[in-house]
């Protein structure tokens, strides 16, 4: 469903991902929830690398946590504080792998970005460790179907001690 680049493709139109991200951000905000995005990190993503784990970072994109939030068709950009220091954040929309409400885990997952246009895999900064395969509590929207009962097993606890937020599929 979301295989075309944000700039568009031949006859396919533009990607639905930025529109779905904006819609879920609005839904979170309207309902008093905190919108979080999970981002696949490579060199095209501008985030504080010390907070990246397994090529992923989770960012609070609520209005209380950001300054100058711009949810564009190609990039999400804003300023946020990390450890009390203001940082510029720039995330290509196709690197957002999920958006969800922190409070209840409801949201949507997206496919990870594919290889670059030259056919090479995205280059990962040296500070980011090589990820080990693991089962995430998130499921891609394309993996869900009405006859699929879904995986109702809770995800493992986060290293920080608390449970990891999960996406809840709404039919």
CATH number (domain holding residue 97) = 2.30.30.220
Q: Is 144 contained in some domain?
A: no
Domain that holds residue 53: 17-136
Kindly report, residue by residue over 79-125, the tens digit of the pLDDT.
999 999 999 999 999 999 999 999 999 999 999 887 544 334 444 44
Q: Is 155 contained in some domain?
A: no
Count of domains observed in the chain: 1
Q: Is 4 contained in some domain?
A: no
Q: What secondary structure letter does DSSP report for 69? A: E
Kindly report, residue by residue over 10-63, the tens digit of the pLDDT.
557 888 999 999 999 999 999 999 999 999 999 999 999 999 999 999 999 999
Q: Is 9 contained in some domain?
A: no
Do the beta carbons of residue 62 and residue 28 sit within 8 Å?
yes
Give the DSSP H/E element, type plus range, for residue 100. Answer: strand 96-101
Q: Write down the pLDDT at residue 167.
A: 64
What CA–CA distance (Å, rounded) separates 126 from 123? 9
Residues 6+ apart with CB under 8 A from 10: none
Kindly report, residue by residue over 138-168, the tens digit of the pLDDT.
545 544 444 444 444 444 444 445 566 666 6
Residue 151: what are its φ and ψ, rounded to 5°?
-100, 105
Q: Is 97 contained in some domain?
A: yes
Q: Which two tokens stand for residue 50?
A: 């010390």
Q: Which two tokens stand for residue 107?
A: 């949201």
What CA–CA distance (Å, rounded) separates 144 from 68? 35
What CA–CA distance (Å, rounded) separates 166 from 103? 10
In degrees, to the nearest 5, what angle opens at C-alpha 49 toward C-alphas 73 and 54? 85
Q: Is 65 contained in some domain?
A: yes
Q: Is 44 contained in some domain?
A: yes
Q: Among 57, 58, 40, 50, which Cα is nearest to 124's?
A: 40
Using CA atoms, how far residue 99 sits from 62, 70, 147, 153, 164, in Å, is 11, 15, 24, 20, 14
Q: Write down the pLDDT at residue 133.
A: 39
Q: Write down the pLDDT at residue 59.
A: 96
Q: Is 56 contained in some domain?
A: yes
């Amino acid at each position: 469903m979301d295989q075309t680049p944000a700039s568009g493709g031949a006859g396919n139109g533009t990607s639905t991902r930025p529109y779905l991200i904006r819609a879920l951000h609005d839904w979170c905000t309207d309902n008093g929830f905190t919108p979080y995005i999970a981002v696949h990190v490579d060199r095209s993503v501008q985030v504080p690398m010390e907070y990246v784990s397994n090529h992923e970072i989770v960012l609070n994109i609520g209005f209380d946590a950001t300054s100058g939030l711009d949810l564009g068709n190609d990039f999400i950009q804003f300023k946020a504080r990390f450890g009390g220091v203001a940082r510029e954040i720039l995330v290509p929309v196709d690197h957002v792998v999920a958006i969800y409400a922190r409070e209840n885990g409801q949201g949507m997952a997206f496919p990870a970005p594919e290889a670059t246009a030259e056919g090479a895999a995205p280059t990962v900064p040296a500070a980011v460790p090589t990820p080990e395969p693991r089962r995430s509590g998130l499921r891609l929207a394309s993996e869900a179907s009405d006859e699929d009962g879904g995986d109702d097993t809770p995800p493992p606890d986060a290293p920080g001690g608390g449970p990891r937020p999960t996406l809840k599929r709404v039919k």
